Amino acid sequence: MSDELSDQLGSNQQYALHVNGQRMEVRDAWLGESLLYVLRERLGLMGSKGACEQGECGSCSVLVDGQLLCSCLVLAASAVGQPIVTIEGIAPVGAPNDLQQAFVDAGAVQCGFCTPGLIMAAHALLEATDEPGEFEIREQLSGNICRCTGYGRIIEAVQRVAVARRSEAT
Amino acid sequence: MYSRPTMSVIVPTSLRDALDVLAHAPATTVLAGGTDLMVELNSGHRQATAVVAVNRVPELRSWHHDPATGTLFIGAGITYAEIAEAPIAQWVPALAQAARTVGSPQIRNAATIGGNLGTCSPAGDGLPVLSALDAVVHLQSHTTSRAVPFGEFMVGPKRTVRVPGELITGVTVPVLSGWQGYSKVGVRNAMVIAVASAALVADPASGSVRLALGSVGPVILRCPEAEALAADAADFDTATISAAAERDFTELARQAARPIDDHRSTAAYRRHAVGVLAGRLLRRAFPNE
């Protein structure tokens, strides 16, 4: 196996993750911790939310190596060397990107708990396709639960961004 | 808080390294996509002292289509998101259908066919398809290698013939020309574990119809009587089967089920639902009456 991996996962319970373009040391951690736990409790990145811790709710969604995943189902120590993008890496704090702004404008943010996960899921969709149809959006967001049940406006927000990005591109 | 034993985590980047780990410590817990194991670790229902994460082993992350033998090898680390897409979806459309019903996009991006086989829940979505396809599961250890038909691989609920030290490296399925499909019943479209499921494979080359049922028994159940009836009654050239044969097929599927009552459903509903699924799949395979 590669030296980087074997070095970092030795018996010293210390490893580094690459989060939002930065190398972050994880010290004195139990190696059984989920990526969600490490992001929030070890690295202070509170944007990813923890609710079900069994992959059902999507509120902890992040990108690992470009793939949209539930961070609660990723063993943090196994993500060594892979680029991780969290909601904090989508846009600078205080300067929302177009997708985040569209959620605000469309009234898609109610209690806000599910919003980071939904932004990550919608972000992954819009990176992969320019013209998502409503069905595609619904399927992409099917792993993200909004307890306030504001799905209509969430879907509208994603559609608005897709349309705006297309018109900018032309 | 529950107690946390010291854990070691190894992330091998070759099959040889992964098998070495298991040779030295056969009881090491294998982590594939994490969608089963992490749920148990998070809840404290399961503890592991040594984990080998195999999701970056290139040999497990590959597939190989062999037109000469008409077979497809799918590495254990291939995800359900990958199976749901071309080209794999074109070769085994029923498996792609099953893949698309697994969890959510987040789950499908992580969950692997090898993990589905390793967990081997009777509700595993890929398993009825592998059963109906007469798939062969590949197991390898440091010194041994064997290929086990799916019907012999799964021996009980979440029980397989895999022994400590062995790794599931992949599965071989035939690439067939006839209609094949997967159907399941659950409480919603996404994020649902099957209450009942069925896979049907019609193979005109051998004149056979194969039916496998999920979530209605301790293992995936094949239905030899229903299969024999359909093979007799169906006209493959015109995609025709009679309404009477469809009814009998449905009844034989119901009778083959061995369901239980649990928190997801009742045995009676499962038996009913799996009959309906089997009948529907047969009608889709042979649309003409």
Contact B60, B76 (CB under 8 A): yes
What domains are there in chain B, each with its CATH number?
A: 8-53 (3.30.43.10), 61-174 (3.30.465.10), 180-285 (3.30.390.50)
Nearest to B33 by CA among A124, A73, A35: A73
**What is the pLDDT, as a whole number, of residue A6?**
46
Pairing, β B145-149 against β B136-140: antiparallel
Cα–Cα dist A38/A35, whole Å? 5
Per-position DSSP letters for B104-158, written without gaps between them = -HHHHHH-BHHHHHHH--TT-THHHHHHHTT-EEEEE-SS-EEEEEHHHHEEETT
Per-residue CA distances from B201 to B133, B178, B288 (Å): 7, 7, 17
Beta-carbon contacts of B272 under 8 Å, excluding residues fewer than 6 positions away, are: B254
For residue B167, the cross-strand partners are B140
Q: Which of B11, B81, B190 sits opposite A142 (nearest CB)?
A: B190
First to last CA, chain B: 62
Q: How many percent of chain B have pLDDT more than 90? A: 96
Mean pLDDT lowest for which of B150-164, B178-192, B233-247? B178-192
Nearest to A109 by CA among A154, A78, A141: A154
Contact B215, B261 (CB under 8 A): no
Distance from CA of B223 to the nearest CA of A (A): 33
pTM for the whole structure: 0.95
For chain A, which residues make up each domain, given as ranges? 3-89, 98-169
Nearest to B216 by CA among B151, B280, B273: B273
**What is the pLDDT, as a whole number, of residue B283?**
98
Distance from CA of B168 to the nearest CA of A (A): 19
Cα–Cα dist B86/B81, whole Å? 10
Output the six-digit token pair for A67: 């793939």
Check B9 against A55: CB less than 8 A apart.
no
For residue B139, what pLDDT band results from cuts at 50, 70 and 90? very high
Superfamily of structural domain A3-89: Beta-grasp domain (3.10.20.30)
Residue B275 has pLDDT above 90, yes or no: yes
Check A9 against B34: CB less than 8 A apart.
no
Q: Is B163 exposed, middle or buried (0-12, 13-18, 19+ CB in 10 A)?
A: exposed
The fold of A98-169 is: DNA polymerase; domain 1 (1.10.150)
What residues 135-174 of chain B have any CB closer than 8 A to a CB of chain A? none
B-interface mutation test, from A3, A64, A78, most B Cβ less than 10 A away: A78
- B244 contact A CB<8A: no
Nearest to B166 by CA among B180, B193, B179, B148: B148
- B14 contact A CB<8A: yes
Output the six-digit token pair for A48: 């990813």
The tens digit of pLDDT for each residue in A46-65 reads: 999 999 999 999 999 999 99
A86 CB neighbours in chain B (<8 A) are none
- A112 dihedral zone (left: phi>0; alpha: psi -120 to 50; beta): left
B33 CB neighbours in chain A (<8 A) are 73
List phi, psi (to 5°) of B61.
-95, 20
Residue A7 has pLDDT above 50, yes or no: no
For residue B4, what pLDDT band results from cuts at 50, 70 and 90? low
Q: What is the ipTM of this complex?
A: 0.94
3-class DSSP state of B1: coil
Report the chain B residue with the minimal C-alpha distance to residue A120: B106
Say whether A98-169 and A3-89 share the same fold. Answer: no
Q: Please, how many CA atoms are within 13 Å of residue B166, restricted to the half-sphere of its CB?
A: 19
Report the chain B residue with the minimal C-alpha distance to residue A28: B6
B17 CB neighbours in chain A (<8 A) are 1
For residue A61, the cross-strand partners are A70
Per-residue CA distances from B232 to B201, B226, B227 (Å): 15, 10, 9
Distance from CA of A107 to the nearest CA of B (A): 24
The tens digit of pLDDT for each residue in B185-222 reads: 999 888 899 999 999 999 999 999 999 999 999 999 99
Beta-carbon contacts of B244 under 8 Å, excluding residues fewer than 6 positions away, are: none
